[in-house]
Structure 1
């Protein structure tokens, strides 16, 4: 007996009391014979204003054609996106993290309202991926994610470029390391076409993690945006969505605590973005899985960094594709070495172990991925810090190149712009700790990324000479001695709000502590004099966001209280 796979859509298509609904479905091009077929929502974060997303509509059309070929009905729709690269350092960056919630809400809205039986999602830029994943977990019906893929390298003067090259070039120009002409040529050639930023930044970090978690097909994270492999993936995905429908495999069957641990382990081994923490806290909460900051630290203590990938290394995702053969080769290596668990279910209907059976073994005649016996760093690059400055936690990204302990006088700024101006005007003293506050989820609002200041620091040659701490967050492209996600944030009265210039701050990533070295009596005096500043935004979506959002240590979610 043929399995029924249109369990949701039949609530509309088979209900004879809904003639208007049927009339509108006929208007979309459906035929009477289509009314018994399963309906697939094909959602992309397509929009023209961002290279990470501008090709997604083309990929979605390939998927729709494939869905129709496999005797399913496909309906394309889009959700929003915000380009982190374009908005970075502007007031628009405040919308980046909040866009994750809008993405999840809008996908949930369309799929629930229209009773789609399954979902194929096509994310591109950073917040797209967790936003999509959160929605699929809320919906919990057969679903697959197809990552839009990363961008090709840019080139100038025989050197590979990427988006961070353009940010860091400004600092180099301002310190007379490069000319105005070189600066402009770097900017013009950093991004040659479509695809997400090419290093192990947030988009590629999340895509890699979701692949080993089993929510994408093998090779999805490493197949470049314009490759033939990405087109083939789009053509084949409908085969697997049909299998998921027939076998009733849903996201919560795939996303378990063990699969989340797999995702975090892979991402950390590759030197992934600190945003991994924020997004996986939110994903775990959407799946009703107990996963906290302590779990990240436990994994970081166990997992060596083996990926020589930007921003801390030198290679890009395209190098994993071209020189190693794709992400599954790395996954198989970590699986064989006992780092990853292989019995987790995936969207192929098989386990991770079964998916890896015919994948070639890694060879180490390349410099991109090191062996576990000779890692780049013996433990993870992400550290969870606690102390009087962050009693609820903070996130450090330490490659080891910057050292592991930093102690220095505070240089305090109440906005990112003030800090950027100070760095570019050469008034930051070596040995100091730059403090950027009132940029958290409520104070920002939206917890903007601090890629500009970290890039300016690196471009100005201060990378090993200063530290930067903030209640905001960092781009996956950030590197240096940086600590973000300080919780509680300044706007909520966290101790970071009471720091004064020249106060001594000590960051110890060996003991995982961050401490303001000021006597408690003095802190209490300052606290009595402190009053929260007015919210920067008093209307619109960001105002609503400030009223709903949780702190960074809880994933900055807006839907569970």
Structure 2
């Protein structure tokens, strides 16, 4: 409205994976992505919108909306609700991960129910997507790297005034995109996806990016396969140790300079595929990044001193996963990179969960769950 537009708001469904996890409801989560994409497309086409400001937060909403933007190809900008602040428990920063671990600790007799409740009550202190580099924050960061979100989209906390400013700026940016005819497929090119994959590997994003990024690319007419992830990972070092695989949270990444600082470090070392790729701001990646510095080298390491020499993700192939399997290699302990042990196989998640909580999974074995996709 500040830039002369007439905003019309409509909603989309949003499954919370934290609630859907561990029961039959999880089978509906990924499918909801397609419903979100279809619903955005339906509303935009039915009402002949000139442009879209897409406001997601949780896991499947972000890729669903980006898929719709690519499919529709009308001027669009994505601005998320932002990440949650980390919780504080007995002087230590915590997030959703520690609660899940706490459930296992109670089952193993290492924690009482009262201690678990205390942990639960402090893990999620306010609004926003879960405080670690889970799927939602991964996709919000990659949206920024892809060029479909404004600088800061991936990391500015939900409760920050800067997030409100970013949202207002997004409204102005979409009006500029409408005026200049900047469309999603002008932005979401093959080079832009390669840029995003480099950031994916440097940040150590969720394995679910392997589900979502190719789906978005498909809608944009770009061919992206599992080999693309491995190729980028092989040449891109892992620069950030973020929860759940590391010690830091998204608020720390924001304080350190955010996605733009990571991109600048990659750019200076020739690891960004195309610094001249167009973004929704109307500027190039290089122009957006500017001279963004790393403000906390404990959070964002340099390319010369990475956490790992290769990127956060790896695609494995073998006799039990001929079509490929994805591992967050940055979160795997050095001693576990090569493993030999008894495979305990289950035909559904429920059976595996019951066995784990019932103490029937032997130490040193590996759990294999079949038929869950």
- The alpha-carbon deviation at position 179 of structure 1 amounts to 2.4
Deviation of 1:391 after TM superposition, in Å, equals: 2.0
**Residue aligning to 1:346:** 279
1:204 aligns with 2:137: yes
For structure 1, the 5+ residue unaligned runs are 1-67, 441-561
Structure 1 residues 326 and 397: alpha-carbon distance in aligned structure 2, compared to 1, 3 A threshold: closer
For 2:56 and 2:157, the matched residues in 1 are separated by 14
Deviation (angstroms), 1:300:
1.2
Number of residue pairs matched by the alignment:
370
Residue 324 (structure 2) pairs with residue 389 (structure 1): no
- Superimposed CA distance per residue, residues 146-204 of structure 1 (whole angstroms, 9 cap, x where no aligned partner): 01100011112111111111111111122232222211100111111110011111111
Contact persistence 2:76–2:184 (CA under 8 A): yes
In structure 2, the residue corresponding to 1:299 is in which secondary structure? helix
For residues 24-64 of structure 1, what are the alpha-carbon distances to aligned partners after superposition, in whole Å with 9 as ceiling and x for unaligned? xxxxxxxxxxxxxxxxxxxxxxxxxxxxxxxxxxxxxxxxx
How far the C-alpha of 1:333 sits from its partner, in A, is 1.6
Aligned to 1:318: 251
1:130 to 63, 73, 82: 63
Within 2, Cα distance between the matches of 1:128 and 1:378? 32
In terms of mean alpha carbon deviation, does 214-223 or 422-431 score higher? 422-431
**Cα distance in 1 for residues equivalent to 2:174 and 2:204:** 31
Corresponding residue for 1:456?
none
Structure 2 counterpart of 1:153: 86
Once the two structures are TM-superposed, the CA of residue 299 in structure 1 deviates from its matched residue by: 0.8
Root-mean-square deviation (CA), in Å?
A: 1.3
d(CA) in 2 for partners of 1:142, 1:188? 42
Identify the match of residue 336 of structure 1 among 248, 268, 286. 268
Structure 1 length-normalised TM:
0.64
Aligned-partner SS, 1:391: strand
Greater fraction strand: 1
Task: Provide the C-alpha distance between the structure 1 equivalents of 2:97 and 2:169, rounded to a whole number of angstroms.
Answer: 34
Residue by residue, what CA displacement relative to the aligned partner does 1:251-292 show, whole Å, maximum 9, x if unpaired? Answer: 000001111011111011111111011101111111111111
| Alpha-carbon offset, residue 327 of structure 1 | 2.4
Alignment of 1:139-218 (within 5 A): 139-218=72-151
Q: SS at the partner of 1:339?
A: coil
**Structure 1 residue 413 displacement after superposition:** 0.8
Q: Does 1:100 align with 2:100?
A: no
Structure 1 or 2, whichever has the larger Rg, is 1
Q: Secondary structure at the match of 1:138?
A: helix
Deviation of 1:71 (Å): 1.6
Between the aligned partners of 2:328 and 2:263, the Cα distance in structure 1 is 23
Q: Partners of 2:236 and 2:146 in 1: how far apart?
A: 17
Which position in structure 2 is the counterpart of 1:238? 171
User: Shift of the alpha carbon at 1:74?
Assistant: 1.0
Give me the whole-angstrom Cα distance separating, in 2, the residues matched to 1:393 and 1:319.
33
Higher relative CO (CA 8 A, sep ≥ 6), structure 1 or 2?
A: 2
1:354-383 residue CA offsets vs partner (Å, 9 max, x unmatched): 1122x43225x5421222112111112321
Contact 2:87 2:93 in 1 (8 A): yes
